[in-house]
Structure 1
Amino acid sequence: MIPQPLRRSIDALAERLGRSSAALNEQVQKFDSEHPWFLSSEERGNPDTRIEAWTEGNRVTPLVHGKPYFAALAAALDEAGEGDLVMFTDWRGDPEQLLTDDVTVEDALAGVAGRGGIVKGMVWRSHIETLGFTGPKNRKLALRLEEAGGEVILDQRVLVLGSHHQKFVVIRYRDPAKSDVAFVGGIDLARARRDDADHFGDPVSRPFPPEYGEIPAWHDMQVQLEGPTVRDIENVFRERWEDPAALSRLPWHAIPDILRGVTREPSVLPAQHDEPDVAGTCAVQLVRTYPRRRPAYPFATRGERSAARAYAKVLRRARRLIYVEDQYLWSVDVARVFAAALRRSPDLRLVIVVPKHLDDDSSLTIPSALLGHSAALDVIRDAGSDRVLVLDLENDRGIPVYVHSKVCIVDDVWAAVGSDNFNRRSWTHDSELTAAIVDEERDLRAPTDPGGLGDGARVFARDLRLELAREHLGRAPGDDEDLVDPGSFFDAVSSSATRLDEWHRAPSTSPRPTGRLRRHEIDVPPQWQQRLAAVAYRLFVDPDGRPIGMRFRRRF
């Protein structure tokens, strides 16, 4: 923060020079930017929150795919009992989903309550089932856990057609010898998520477009966090839980809830424990999205768009490589941020991994989503040309893998894993939570400072990029010497995709090459369909939760 004498000097100087308050605020913001990669409290733009700007001394463990995440979560829940506190949020929850071969989501959470633990959950109420949403399943999870002694609320405190999209779990143990833990990312406690690196899919599946086969393969990611950041993630939960607004003001929600005995008014949470001790070498910043709502969120009275602001700040610093995995890269507003980075840095390269096909077959959303996706990629490709690779993923049997992960790694320094997609809905409209990570430990493999700004390369970000690259390229552990340097990484990925694309054009001439990445192609809807889809896109598929003035200024 700016020392008070210096702040007073700036104020006095501004007054003498007759600067506008906007210019003064910009100057103050520059002084307050205490970290080159993280947002300051002022840059976050939300003075109402209780979470810290960032925390240091955290251990962060990447859990690539649902099977490793669910196994880690089951083990952590199995340790919880008398007096321990478990808090979770979800977009979709299926009580029958397996965490391990013989433990379901319901078993694990009800087991904590049965051992005397305190279980609190917030699951998005969801829109009606006829629109393809999962309200009845979410209600079923809530009722099952209520019967077991937990407390789960169906939370519809969102904008019209909005959702609560955060997916995290926090476990605070009463025993100080146990390490408190949190899990943050893109994986719901839901069907189809328990896949692994082989990508044969989750036997506990769900209806899905036929292009993905009978049991859809699913690529996703979560991170396990220990250390001071756990208390911040807990505060994200507490802020939402303590929101005094009605869980839903719609009578067709309230009356069935009353008849079924669903919780309508959350109870008071137990007193909060002290901040966990230092556990590792990672600094973690939590970035979020909340729209501007009426009645206002008490913890974000003007909304919060720190996820969007974090990417805008970080991408201004990008020099060599941005690596992205995302379910929905389909907003021009988001694409402009990446395009600006590519124009700013002529040596910068961008690798994007997205799903080959959408996750539904709706005649309303498919043309709209394809329209937005195509326009966004055009903006990025116009800026970066051959410095941009847009790819999708298949398994070794040639069946597409649904990419649900939300990951971004910049210059092997800053990494982000969370729930927010690269679209306007996630950056402005729905609730989101992402963990941005900068490891204090330097990676000494060459190039030791890929961005050339003195930041070095960091162990967590580089190791995560290499782990994902080895999987997608069909490499064995340790087979990554040509992947460390951003330039040779880009070339290796491009060559692998080219070989696989060529093999698909003439598959009988040779064995299938290793690797799972293919160049991403889009079937753009015809012109007449685009005109109809444009309205649906803006209203339903990718709505904007910003105040009107921000929309016109294209600011987040």
Structure 2
Amino acid sequence: MAVADWFLTDERPWTEGNSVVPLVHGEEYFAELHRCLEQTRQGDLVLFTDWRGDPDERLTDDDDSSVGAVLCRAARRGVDVRGLIWRSHLDKLAFSAEANRHLGDEIEAAGGECLLDMRVRTGGSHHQKFVVLRHPGRPELDVAFVGGIDLCHSRRDTAEHLGDPQPVDMAAVYGPTPPWHDAAVALRGPAVADVERVFRERWDDPQPLTRNPARWLSERLHRDDRHADRLPDPLPAPAPAGSLPVQLLRTYPYRLRGYPFAPQGERTVAAGYEKVLARAERIVYVEDQYLWSAEVARSFATALRRSPELRVVAVLPRYPDQDGRFSKPPNLYGREQALRIIQEAAGDRFSVYGLENRHGTPVYVHAKVCVVDDAWATVGSDNFNRRSWTHDSELSAAVVDEDYARSLRLRLMAEHLDATDAERAALADPVAAYEALRRSAQRLEAWYAGGRRSERPQGRLRPLADPPLSAATRLWAQWAYRVVYDPDGRQFSRRIASRRSSSM
């Protein structure tokens, strides 16, 4: 395969010679992150960004493995620990301002530096989730973790999907310990320096951490760190550690006075997907928290109309994460319109599933994974919606390699099917895999329809069917969806141009 046929060739660089290890589920990621953090020593550098951080979230079963304790121990033994956490909105809006403040306070008290970062477009968030570890004199240990897993409650689940012992409150259907499906990757090799550069660009952003006057008073009362200290000079990029090419894809919105490194914003996440979807011929496999936006859906629909053999599979949450009267309908509206656009183009070549554990409890799908034709695969923080493609900050790691991409797809599909080794091998053929998922989901749905009188069939997927919204609900839900839940972060002129091109 020609790497340039799949990667963006002008908008973003890429590196060769990397090792990329998928870390599926929070338990696997947290255990590896814990191991790497505990082996840092004086003079090493730890950089992390997060959407939400809970200092008491344990990385392993050990009581002393909490995020705050591990990072603070590192800072106390002379590791340079720097963090950028989205400042967040008020806790009463179900976001994470207090948790983020407390993690930052703990790290600062231990000698590190953690900034509450609100340098975003109004109503947006810093949604990137990554950690970089650099080791002067020990470059073989350098590693970067990129993905969708926050350092917070509810993320440390396993393939059994029984939930994190430290849960967050979610819709009642998910139970007291909501099952959680997620993914990240561990990068080693030259790509580590690329991830570090993303952190440095954000850290050195000259804009104030917040433009909200009310926040200025709060900062003074809490004695927040309002100014970023200078980072140490960057080390040379790590030597090759494998054979894989890696390209980082990013989103930054158009923002007043701009980001110095992206004055008009950056939409290489969207451009990357649009390029590979235009090449897709056999199968697109998606796991995502949201599949929203008519614009995103049209990219899939165009690919399906162009390639008559193409099949698309999407694994999504069966239910929104919140039950609220005003939060649930906009979620359903956004998904309804996107799925309808894709379905009309695909017919029986598009399947969308919800996930549950073997006990029948729905699993909240938070993973952001896409595999195209077993050639290109990405794991990151971005969702398939307009917010992630234009409005919030996002970071994903894309890889072009047949073995890597196919192995990732097979691992995820086999888990959802409870497949044996022999059954997993048969999934290598895209058509066979598509049909295996469809048959498994139909069997499980028929078992429920029949009153669950026999032994539960193998597999954990069920066809996704959202309840219809009334005309009255749709009227206000579509406004909330477009303005609050899935806003557009592009310049006004670019929004208009996009709408005109999509209507032609």
**TM-score scaled by structure 2?**
0.97
What is aligned with 1:23?
none
Residues 34 and 40 in structure 1, CA contact (< 8 A), matched pair in contact too: no
What is aligned with 2:47?
87
Q: Which runs of 4+ in 1 moved over 6 A?
A: none
1:489-508 to structure 2, matched below 5 A, reads: 489-508=433-452
Offset at residue 177 of structure 1 (A):
5.4
Residue 115 in structure 1 maps to residue 84 in structure 2: no
What is aligned with 1:465?
409
Deviates more, 1:354-363 or 1:387-396: 354-363
Q: Whole-Å Cα distance in 1 between the matches of residues 421 and 29 of structure 2?
A: 20
What is aligned with 2:229?
267
Residue 338 in structure 1 maps to residue 300 in structure 2: yes
Could you tell me which runs of 5 or more consecutive residues in structure 1 were left unpaired when the two chains were aligned. 1-32, 45-51, 440-457
What is aligned with 2:7?
38
Aligned match for 1:163, one of 102, 125, 138: 125
Residue 98 in structure 1 maps to residue 58 in structure 2: yes
Q: Whole-Å Cα distance in 1 between the matches of residues 491 and 426 of structure 2?
A: 46
Offset at residue 179 of structure 1 (A):
2.1
What is aligned with 1:321?
283
- Cα deviation, 1:62-90, whole Å, max 9, x if unaligned, reads 00000000000000101111000000000
Offset at residue 479 of structure 1 (A):
3.6
What is aligned with 2:148?
186
Q: Which amino acid aligns with 1:466?
A: L
Q: Which amino acid aligns with 1:39?
A: L
Residue 510 in structure 1 maps to residue 479 in structure 2: no
Offset at residue 262 of structure 1 (A):
1.5
Offset at residue 431 of structure 1 (A):
0.3
Residues 443 and 457 in structure 2, CA contact (< 8 A), matched pair in contact too: yes
Larger Rg: 1
Residues 140 and 238 in structure 2, CA contact (< 8 A), matched pair in contact too: no
Question: SS in structure 2 opposite 1:521?
Answer: coil
What is aligned with 1:536?
480
Q: Whole-Å Cα distance in 1 between the matches of residues 394 and 47 of structure 2?
A: 16
What is aligned with 1:382?
344
Q: Whole-Å Cα distance in 2 between the matches of residues 239 and 128 of structure 1?
A: 27
Q: Which amino acid aligns with 2:57?
A: Q
Q: Whole-Å Cα distance in 2 between the matches of residues 81 and 364 of structure 1?
A: 48
- Cα deviation, 1:126-176, whole Å, max 9, x if unaligned, reads 011121111011001100110111100000011111000000000001133
- Cα deviation, 1:506-537, whole Å, max 9, x if unaligned, reads 13431100100000011122101111112111
Offset at residue 35 of structure 1 (A):
0.6
Offset at residue 361 of structure 1 (A):
2.1
Q: Which amino acid aligns with 1:388?
A: F
Q: Whole-Å Cα distance in 1 between the matches of residues 9 and 327 of structure 2?
A: 37
Q: Whole-Å Cα distance in 1 between the matches of residues 427 and 399 of structure 2?
A: 21
- Cα deviation, 1:484-527, whole Å, max 9, x if unaligned, reads 10010001110000000000111343110010000001112210
Residues 186 and 406 in structure 1, CA contact (< 8 A), matched pair in contact too: yes
What is aligned with 1:73?
33
Q: Whole-Å Cα distance in 1 between the matches of residues 142 and 126 of structure 2?
A: 25
Q: Which amino acid aligns with 1:398?
A: G
Aligned match for 2:92, one of 97, 105, 130: 130
Q: Whole-Å Cα distance in 2 between the matches of residues 429 and 487 of structure 1?
A: 35
Q: Whole-Å Cα distance in 1 between the matches of residues 139 and 255 of structure 2?
A: 41
What is aligned with 1:236?
198
Question: SS in structure 1 opposite 2:217?
Answer: helix
Q: Whole-Å Cα distance in 2 between the matches of residues 362 and 276 of structure 1?
A: 48
Q: Whole-Å Cα distance in 2 between the matches of residues 54 and 533 of structure 1?
A: 40
Offset at residue 258 of structure 1 (A):
1.9
Q: Which amino acid aligns with 1:514?
A: Q
Aligned match for 1:404, one of 366, 372, 380: 366
- Cα deviation, 1:331-383, whole Å, max 9, x if unaligned, reads 11100001100001000000000000111123222111211110000000000
Q: Whole-Å Cα distance in 2 between the matches of residues 361 and 324 of structure 1?
A: 25
Residues 139 and 238 in structure 2, CA contact (< 8 A), matched pair in contact too: no
Q: Whole-Å Cα distance in 2 between the matches of residues 413 and 303 of structure 1?
A: 28
Residues 85 and 114 in structure 2, CA contact (< 8 A), matched pair in contact too: yes
Q: Which amino acid aligns with 2:448?
A: H
Q: Whole-Å Cα distance in 1 between the matches of residues 156 and 470 of structure 2?
A: 37
Question: SS in structure 2 opposite 1:87?
Answer: strand
Offset at residue 229 of structure 1 (A):
0.4
Question: SS in structure 2 opposite 1:480?
Answer: helix
Offset at residue 548 of structure 1 (A):
1.8
- Could you tell me the percent identity over the aligned residues? 51
What is aligned with 1:252?
214
1:352-431 to structure 2, matched below 5 A, reads: 352-431=314-393
Residue 63 in structure 1 maps to residue 23 in structure 2: yes
- Cα deviation, 1:397-455, whole Å, max 9, x if unaligned, reads 0110000000000000100000000000000000000001112xxxxxxxxxxxxxxxx
Q: Whole-Å Cα distance in 2 between the matches of residues 524 and 262 of structure 1?
A: 47
Offset at residue 200 of structure 1 (A):
0.6
Residues 142 and 262 in structure 1, CA contact (< 8 A), matched pair in contact too: no
What is aligned with 1:305?
267
1:471-490 to structure 2, matched below 5 A, reads: 471-477=415-421, 479-490=423-434
Size of the aligned set, in residue pairs, is 497
Offset at residue 196 of structure 1 (A):
0.6
Offset at residue 462 of structure 1 (A):
0.5
Could you tell me which runs of 5 or more consecutive residues in structure 2 were left unpaired when the two chains were aligned. none
Q: Which amino acid aligns with 1:536?
A: A
- Cα deviation, 1:231-286, whole Å, max 9, x if unaligned, reads 00000000000000000021221222222221101000001000100001110000
Aligned match for 1:286, one of 223, 241, 248: 248
Change in Cα spacing, 1:417 to 1:34, as seen in structure 2 (3 Å) is closer
Instruction: Give the root-mean-square deviation of aligned CA atoms.
Output: 1.3
Offset at residue 311 of structure 1 (A):
0.4
Q: Which amino acid aligns with 1:68?
A: E
Q: Whole-Å Cα distance in 1 between the matches of residues 154 and 137 of structure 2?
A: 34
What is aligned with 2:491?
547
